[in-house]
Amino acid sequence: MFETGVNNIGVSLRNGTAHINVWAPDAKSVICRVEKRGADIPLAIGKYGYWYAESDALKEGDSYRFQIDGEPYPDPASLAQPEGVHGASQIVDLQYPWRDENYHPPALDKLIIYELHVGTFTASHDFSGVIERIPHLLKLGINAIEIMPVAQFPGDRNWGYDGVFLFAVQHSYGGAKGLQQLVDACHEAGIAVILDVVYNHFGPEGNYLPNFGPYFTEKYSTPWGKAINYDDAYSHGVRDFVLANIRMWFEDFHIDGLRLDAVHAIKDFSPKHILQEVRQLTDDIIAARKKPHYLIVECDLNDRRYLDPLQNNAFAMDAQWIDEFHHALRVAAGEEKKGYYKDFNGLEDLAKAYEKAYVFDGNYSTHREKFFGTSAAGLSGERFIVFSQNHDQVGNRMLGERSAALYSKSVQRLMAMAVILSPYTPMLFMGEEWGTEKPFQYFVSHGDEELIEAVREGRKAEFADFQSEGTPPDPQATATFNTCVLDWNEVEADTQQKMLNYYTKLIKLRRELQASGSFGREQLAVEHDKEKDSILLTMGSGKNQMLAILNFSAETQSYEVDGQWKIMLDSNDRQWAGDSNMGDAVDSSVTVASTSGILLALVSA
């Protein structure tokens, strides 16, 4: 496959010399202007639309802009935007005194992922606040955090999906050095870092890319407008841009994995899809660094090609989020069947999700009005990431309510068991572990009044399919953001401590199950008891056999079990703020409280 050979884009410092590389295929002249000194550095045109220069006039901390045919713009590959998305770019030296040379991230099947948003995770709204909470994550049993996007966005309040400078770490979070310090601290504690990245669109404010080159194409449309140009004329420059960004995260920031946002919205009919190039680049980096790096995708297609190997002309991503598990679980727990929930039949589909991963594997979807999906047969369980809530599923509710604001404590504990004892890779959403009721609403801090109003109207229209009453919170209001910031004082309350202890115990049990060899998709037998609104999960065999009973009914249910069993966990136990006191063992039958679950280990058949 033809390649330009370009690896470094933007301005990079090497041994005190600035190397400047800008893609502007239609430009007649490109000049790098150093702001405070007024120095101009002319660039020379090279191959494939790249302009290049070397200079000793640029130093770390200098502000600069590129003049494209006389018009000044920030650098598309800027490493820092301290004055925001409309301001000058700033030179940053990404050299860092790493202490993690001996760190290796956990294997994919051992990950316990914790999704967080830097701005609302703590009251400091930055990377240092995350570092302060590493002891909490360790005690909980977390070994990987997944950070929502940190590419520079307008203002200082945003989910991160409006990023327009993919190489610049959000300045209000602490910038490049702050992220490097966070990764280094996590690695020192044995925690991997997964970063959410967006390659399907750019944000609407501060997007100067079209002034440099054809970063977009009119061949396709996406929910955000024109598609990013991965296969049209001059697409080589766009592909170089994305691949250089991935290289930066892995090499300069030591990120352990990337979560690629909504890859179904990446439009590419090239003979080699951009995701295949991403896979090959990542494999090269793994070989060079001798450490694993994971590629995780959000995908709405139930298409196994995203996971199948390159030799099958597939994309070979390591894992994918699986929303269908979430949807089936929520309907089983009582979620009203509106919007995309209309497609799901609660426990019946949850049982299928446990067994097949994809609920829609070629069957008919009434919501989509078509036959949908492929079989996930043969794909191991760790390649599917499951959750009872995440930023999307909470934040895309009109009021951003978390599970704790919607369900009883017993249902919350039951859903946690359903996720953490699944054969898939579990992910928690920040604050879930102590049952916070703090919402996670949609928030922005745009500077354009027309755009602000458009976002407000868009939020109102978004909930039409859910027939929601009322008005969404104003996404531009500072109060909306402040409402979402976690209150860590909550953790000290007795009820929250019991929920936190329950999650900690669940995670510990998952690790013990994995160590016993009785855990995994291949060792799982699923039974849906329709009369008792329950799911029974049998894991392993012989002396390592385990049985999880998930009772979603509103009644206490009794179940016959062959042999003698030890109670490993009862979600309704008093120590978790329930009201059961069953003891340690059961023989021939077991009683499970309403909306509760129990985990049993076989003692003798």
261 labelled binding-site residue = yes
259 labelled binding-site residue = yes
Provide the token pair at 371.
């036959």
CB 164 within 8 A of CB 85: yes
323 labelled binding-site residue = yes
392 labelled binding-site residue = yes
Burial classification of residue 283, based on how many CB atoms lie within 10 Å of its CB (0-12 exposed, 13-18 middle, 19 or more buried) = middle
Write a three-state SS string for 186-202: HHHCCCEEEEEECCCCC
In angstroms, the Cα distances linking 584 to 149, 255, 421, 498, 600 are 45, 43, 20, 20, 10
324 labelled binding-site residue = yes
86 labelled binding-site residue = no
CA-CA distance, 183 to 492, in Å (whole number)?
27
393 labelled binding-site residue = yes
Q: Which residues pair with 33 in a beta bridge?
A: 40, 65
Provide the token pair at 229.
């140009």
327 labelled binding-site residue = yes
262 labelled binding-site residue = yes
The per-residue DSSP string of 292-320 comes to --EEEE--SS--GGGTS-GGGTS---SEE
Catalytic one of 75, 115, 184, 261? 261
Task: Read off the DSSP letter of residue 118.
Answer: H
367 labelled binding-site residue = no
Based on the residue annotation, tell me whether 126 is a catalytic residue of this protein.
Answer: no
In angstroms, the Cα distances linking 266 to 84, 195, 230, 414 are 27, 18, 8, 36
Catalytic one of 298, 432, 433, 570? 298
Q: What is the dihedral of CA 94, 206, 76, 70, to 10 degrees?
A: -130
Sequence-ordered alpha helix ranges (H) in 517-564: none
In angstroms, the Cα distances linking 239 to 79, 211, 268, 270, 510 are 18, 17, 11, 11, 40
Task: Read off the DSSP letter of residue 20.
Answer: E
Based on the residue annotation, tell me whether 261 is a catalytic residue of this protein.
Answer: yes
- The residue among 18, 1, 6 whose CA lies nearest residue 48 is 6
264 labelled binding-site residue = yes
In angstroms, the Cα distances linking 27 to 3, 43, 68, 229, 414 are 22, 11, 6, 18, 60
Instruction: Give the H/E segment covering residue 514.
Output: helix 494-516
CA-CA distance, 140 to 507, in Å (whole number)?
8
Q: Which residues carry out catalysis?
A: 261, 298
Please report, in range form, the residues annotated as the binding site. 259-264, 323-327, 391-396
Please report, in range form, the residues annotated as the binding site for substrate. 259-264, 323-327, 391-396
